[in-house]
Amino acid sequence: GGIITQTPKFLIGQEGQKLTLKCQQNFNHDTMYWYRQDSGKGLRLIYYSITENDLQKGDLSEGYDASREKKSSFSLTVTSAQKNEMAVFLCASSIAYNNNQAPLFGEGTRLSVL
């Protein structure tokens, strides 16, 4: 079976800092996603990527950059961390963007900004 690995598991940053989160999958999936999870707000799509070197904005892309340099990896950058921000960032992947397969998730990166 495959796995989605997110690093780091915990990330503490300073206000205004640029922070990078990484995600690797070995399912050989084409599509990868970044979601943000806030308490009481469910999951919101930040960026997704249909294939290597492709990037598509989700509903919450402002304040973030993403990079898909390899099929197996997808990085997310918080361009300027906001003071007292706390959230969980979840990476997911699926076979292809248009075949309605349920995305599979990593265990998340928990962000706290001081």
Three-state SS across 50-66?
CCCCCCEECCCCCCEEE
CA 63 to chain CA mean position, Å = 13
Beta bridge partners of 73: 24, 70
Provide the minimum distance between the beta carbon of 73 and another protein in the complex, in angstroms, as a whole number.
Answer: 17
Looking at beta carbons only, is 50 or 80 nearer to another protein? 50
Looking at beta carbons only, is 49 or 75 nearer to another protein? 49
Residues of the shown chain interacting with another protein in the complex, contacts defined by CB under 8 A: 4, 6, 31, 33, 35, 40-43, 45, 48, 50, 56, 90, 92, 94, 97-100, 102-108, 110
Provide the minimum distance between the beta carbon of 91 and another protein in the complex, in angstroms, as a whole number.
Answer: 8
**From the CB of residue 81, how many other CB atoms can be counted at a distance below 10 Å?**
21
Length of the chain: 114
Provide the minimum distance between the beta carbon of 80 and another protein in the complex, in angstroms, as a whole number.
Answer: 26
